Chain A
Amino acid sequence: MFGLEKKDASLLILVAVLTIFAPFILNPFPDGSALAQFNAGYPDLMQRFVIFGIFAIGFNILFGLTGYLSFGHAAFLGIGSYAAVWMFKLLSMNVIPAIILAVIMSGLFALLIGYISLRRSGIYFSILTLAFAQMMFALAYSVLTPITGGETGLQLALDDPRILSMASSTDGNIPVPSLFGMEMRDSTQLTVGAWKFTFNVGYYFCSVIMLVAFYIAIRIFRSPFGLMLRAVKSNQQRLNYTGLNPRPYTLAAFVISGMYAGLAGALMASMDPLAGAERMFWTASGEVVLMTILGGAGTLIGPVLGAGAIKYMENILSKINGDILHTWFAFLPDGLEDFIVTIIYPFIGKGWHLTLGIIFMLVVIFLPGGLVEGGQRIMQKLRGKSADTDSAKTEPAE
């Protein structure tokens, strides 16, 4: 189907089914129960899952295939967001022009930065991209305040021109981003017994784009172009000696992955029309590296899983506070309750970074191939077979 091999097609279908039914899958606990704290099926977080999934898929095209570790990819995410918000301000609240301009702008910046940075490889390349990203962050944060809104971020205002649509909605408010009249924030709720499921327009819009992005990534992975990128990763010198110039290939990969990041940035702005400089900060660039490695670099689905895992911890673990812990362990005797809460407390709430760090260390030490490798091992255990090539899920880069 769609010109894919059977196992890639089944992977694509699996991802499609997962994203379509995500509102059910992510809300396994009844509303109002103690475990409802762990439900992730609310629109904002589901949108983040797929948007950062796109970001990580794009990053993986560069890092997973060519092995070039860019430490400044968040810059493209930021550029995409700023471009999208400017389209909302100037043109209309339709998300299509915003996404198109964002992808073009981030592609142009990626071309420029890639052209310069790709003259070096290894750690020097990483440092160059990091330097560019930090320069852009600094520009966005202060010097370019008229364009970027500085620290406050770029926001919509009632007196923006919006030449293709009205500047304000009928009730005198700033209109919300929409796709030909379908507002991104619209949701409908389905109540089944004690369970409550939310279906959000913005989420499904992002999902469709994520599936397209995922499909394109599969095609790139399986194409001769993808093979050339893998050749760059495994031995660039040998490639040079065979008379091939790898730079056009790596530059193309860099621009494509920059455009993916711009697309993710535009979607972020479409879901929530604000662009802040923080999303260009180097920690944001580091986050996408973590996502890719946590999920499994060079695999197709790994980055998406990694993005989901990190965003889940950031949004769910960080909201558990001491009071909630006390209600969970209230059934224990007082002394024991306090003891257990004291042990767990550093790992939740504002301590979620600590939990993330521990999980990241465990994954890197015991599962170098990321969560995908963990999944493969479990599958093998279940099937009772030794290491085998038969894995429908992944295709390691090397």
Chain B
Amino acid sequence: MSKLNLTRRGVIQTGAVAGAGLALPTYLSAAGHEGFTNAPTGSTVTFGFNVPQTGAYADEGADELRAYELAVEHLNGGGDGGLMNTFSSKALEGTGILGKKVEYVTGDTQTKSDAARASAKSMIEKDGAVMITGGSSSGVAVAVQALCQEAGVIFMAGLTHSNDTTGKDKKANGFRHFFNSYMSGAALAPILGKNYGTDRKAYHLTADYNWGYTTEEAVRTSTEAMGWETVAAVKTPLTQTDFSSYIAPVLQSGADVLVLNHYGGNMVNSLTNAVQFGLREKQVNGKNFEIVVPLYSRLMAKGAGANVKGIFGSTNWHWSLQDEGSKQFVKSFGEKYGFPPSQAAHTCYVQAMLYADAVQRAGSFNPCAVAEALEDFEFDGMGNGKTLYRAEDHQCFKDVLVVKGKENPTSEFDLLEIVEVTPVGQVTYDASIFGGELGTCNPGA
């Protein structure tokens, strides 16, 4: 070890450097106060679109980005105006928001909480985004929502289905339009009871992460309430691509229904494996063996191909809906991109519109004013019928679609058929059942 020489001059020098180093942050902590974070000053306002561009949910992310670009075009007065024509609130005029032209920046969440937060942070700190939206995973949504709460910007969640986003981990600056696991369970159970009987034995395969847990729990609770029995619930790693070893024990278990709490690529693979094993031709306990997929999307149905035929699930929105809002959105999206939008695209487009409308009505970009305008806001004409943004947990309440894989698809997009539109009353729950605290809105610096 080299010798430490203590000289008077050395001590003074060291002390001065250390003192300056410690004093510097104190001097710098005098932060500017503009009322709220990233208050737009010029003639433009910037949104941050934080979507997965790589990884397992890249397809959903690409569709979300298309929807956002369409929404920005409509907000700035381009295109055919899209859902602004059917939206029950008429505050938006197609002249930007509060006269400011809407611009946007994009980022890649990589479906990882860390990467998503880094990307959102750079949007807030570098690009001055006043609102962050997007995402295709509940983990990411919860993480980015917490970040936005700290930073003092509004977060409009994209595709996130876990109960936690507006349950245990809800935040005052975060809002979700998409439905959740609880609603899926509540909507699916009666249909399953009607079609498969109330004395079934269910076997769950659950993706081993947050969304999987809440979905399994929701489906279990609601099916057990009507008399089903849960034989086993097995967790599968999120990175699993071959589910054969998980499917084999299902038949020995005596179960006659398989519930796949999987999403995206997981669901495509597990369903394909299950069908290849011939589960659907089997007879167990004198009944036909059935498969259920709680959360469906068109992109997944496309991946699983013919295997989805006749399989029940739930979805937030489907392009074949015949209300004015849905028809308008499918038309606008289809004219621009040449194919119908997915449910991810729909929820993201609606979220961007709802935010813009809330700002317009509030007359300010201040997150607290926007949150107040969104809370208990009731609207229609966005494709899901009458919808309420509940103030207690910032969750949207609307009808839930129960769908089934179509037996005779007429095109590569026509893969799901709507079995029933479950009325909102049947899927509403008390805001306190999942715990968590909303806190108070944070406008930032």
Question: A: which residues have CB within 8 A of B?
Answer: 1-4, 39, 42-45, 48, 138, 141-142, 150-153, 155-159, 168, 171-174, 176, 179, 182-183, 185-189, 198-201, 204-205, 208, 219, 222-225, 272, 274, 276, 278-279, 315, 318-319, 321, 349-350
The answer to whether A1 and B210 touch across the interface, beta carbons within 8 angstroms, is no
Set of chain A residues within 8 Å of B151, measured between Cβ atoms: 185
Most buried by A among B2, B14, B114, B117: B114
The CA of A315 and the CA of B108, in the complex, are separated in Å by: 10
Assuming A151-B210, A204-B21, what are 20 further A-B pairs, CB within 8 angstroms? Answer: A2-B14, A4-B2, A39-B126, A45-B126, A151-B113, A152-B113, A152-B169, A155-B142, A173-B150, A173-B439, A188-B30, A201-B28, A204-B25, A205-B25, A208-B21, A272-B147, A276-B114, A278-B114, A278-B115, A350-B108
Most buried by B among A44, A150, A157, A198: A44
Per-residue A-contact encoding for B134-173, CB less than 8 Å = 1, 0 else: 0000110011001101110000000000001000010010
Q: Cβ of B273 < 8 Å from any Cβ of A?
A: no
The answer to whether B32 and A189 touch across the interface, beta carbons within 8 angstroms, is yes
How many A-B pairs with Cβ below 8 Å? 149
Set of chain A residues within 8 Å of B105, measured between Cβ atoms: 319
The answer to whether B437 and A44 touch across the interface, beta carbons within 8 angstroms, is no
Q: Cβ of B24 < 8 Å from any Cβ of A?
A: yes
Set of chain B residues within 8 Å of A150, measured between Cβ atoms: 209-210
The CA of A208 and the CA of B18, in the complex, are separated in Å by: 9
Set of chain B residues within 8 Å of A141, measured between Cβ atoms: 208-209, 238
Complex A-B: 13 CB contacts under 8 Å: A39-B126, A151-B210, A152-B138, A155-B143, A157-B169, A172-B440, A173-B442, A201-B28, A219-B2, A223-B2, A276-B143, A279-B114, A319-B105
Closest 8 CB pairs between A and B? A151-B209, A172-B440, A44-B121, A276-B113, A42-B126, A42-B125, A278-B112, A151-B139
The answer to whether B146 and A48 touch across the interface, beta carbons within 8 angstroms, is no
Q: Cβ of B433 < 8 Å from any Cβ of A?
A: no
The answer to whether B122 and A315 touch across the interface, beta carbons within 8 angstroms, is yes
Closest to B111 in A: A278
The answer to whether B143 and A274 touch across the interface, beta carbons within 8 angstroms, is yes
The CA of A278 and the CA of B164, in the complex, are separated in Å by: 20
B5 to chain A, nearest CB (A): 6
Q: Cβ of B53 < 8 Å from any Cβ of A?
A: yes
The answer to whether A44 and B118 touch across the interface, beta carbons within 8 angstroms, is yes
The answer to whether B5 and A3 touch across the interface, beta carbons within 8 angstroms, is yes
B46 to chain A, nearest CB (A): 12
Closest to A155 in B: B146
A199 to chain B, nearest CB (A): 5
Set of chain A residues within 8 Å of B322, measured between Cβ atoms: none
The CA of A186 and the CA of B33, in the complex, are separated in Å by: 11
B372 to chain A, nearest CB (A): 15
The majority secondary structure among interface residues of chain A is mixed
The answer to whether B29 and A186 touch across the interface, beta carbons within 8 angstroms, is yes
Q: Cβ of B107 < 8 Å from any Cβ of A?
A: yes
Set of chain A residues within 8 Å of B119, measured between Cβ atoms: 319
The answer to whether B10 and A272 touch across the interface, beta carbons within 8 angstroms, is no
Q: Cβ of B8 < 8 Å from any Cβ of A?
A: no
Known: A151-B210, A188-B30. A44 touches B125 (CB 8 A): yes
B362 to chain A, nearest CB (A): 19
Set of chain A residues within 8 Å of B139, measured between Cβ atoms: 151-153, 276
Set of chain B residues within 8 Å of A350, measured between Cβ atoms: 53-54, 108
Set of chain B residues within 8 Å of A187, measured between Cβ atoms: 28, 31
Closest to B123 in A: A319
List CB contacts (< 8 Å) of B78-101 with chain A: none
The CA of A186 and the CA of B211, in the complex, are separated in Å by: 34
The answer to whether A174 and B142 touch across the interface, beta carbons within 8 angstroms, is no
Q: Cβ of B390 < 8 Å from any Cβ of A?
A: no
Set of chain B residues within 8 Å of A208, measured between Cβ atoms: 21
Set of chain B residues within 8 Å of A156, measured between Cβ atoms: 146
Q: Cβ of B194 < 8 Å from any Cβ of A?
A: no
With beta carbons under 8 angstroms apart, the residue of B1, B5, B13, B440 that contacts A223 is B1
Set of chain B residues within 8 Å of A43, measured between Cβ atoms: 125
Known: A153-B113, A223-B1. A45 touches B209 (CB 8 A): no
The answer to whether B53 and A349 touch across the interface, beta carbons within 8 angstroms, is yes
Set of chain A residues within 8 Å of B32, measured between Cβ atoms: 188-189
Set of chain B residues within 8 Å of A179, measured between Cβ atoms: 25
With beta carbons under 8 angstroms apart, the residue of A45, A48, A176, A204 that contacts B28 is A204
The answer to whether B169 and A173 touch across the interface, beta carbons within 8 angstroms, is no
A180 to chain B, nearest CB (A): 10
With beta carbons under 8 angstroms apart, the residue of A2, A44, A183, A189 that contacts B29 is A183
The CA of A326 and the CA of B255, in the complex, are separated in Å by: 57
The CA of A4 and the CA of B211, in the complex, are separated in Å by: 54
Set of chain B residues within 8 Å of A138, measured between Cβ atoms: 237
The answer to whether A222 and B2 touch across the interface, beta carbons within 8 angstroms, is yes
B149 to chain A, nearest CB (A): 7
The CA of A189 and the CA of B125, in the complex, are separated in Å by: 11
With beta carbons under 8 angstroms apart, the residue of B2, B31, B439 that contacts A174 is B439
Closest to B137 in A: A151
B375 to chain A, nearest CB (A): 16
Closest to B142 in A: A152
The answer to whether A44 and B28 touch across the interface, beta carbons within 8 angstroms, is no
The CA of A151 and the CA of B209, in the complex, are separated in Å by: 6
The CA of A152 and the CA of B168, in the complex, are separated in Å by: 12
Set of chain B residues within 8 Å of A349, measured between Cβ atoms: 53, 108
The CA of A199 and the CA of B10, in the complex, are separated in Å by: 29
The answer to whether A315 and B118 touch across the interface, beta carbons within 8 angstroms, is yes
The CA of A206 and the CA of B211, in the complex, are separated in Å by: 35
A148 to chain B, nearest CB (A): 12
Set of chain B residues within 8 Å of A321, measured between Cβ atoms: 106
The CA of A29 and the CA of B73, in the complex, are separated in Å by: 29
Most buried by A among B5, B28, B169, B440: B28
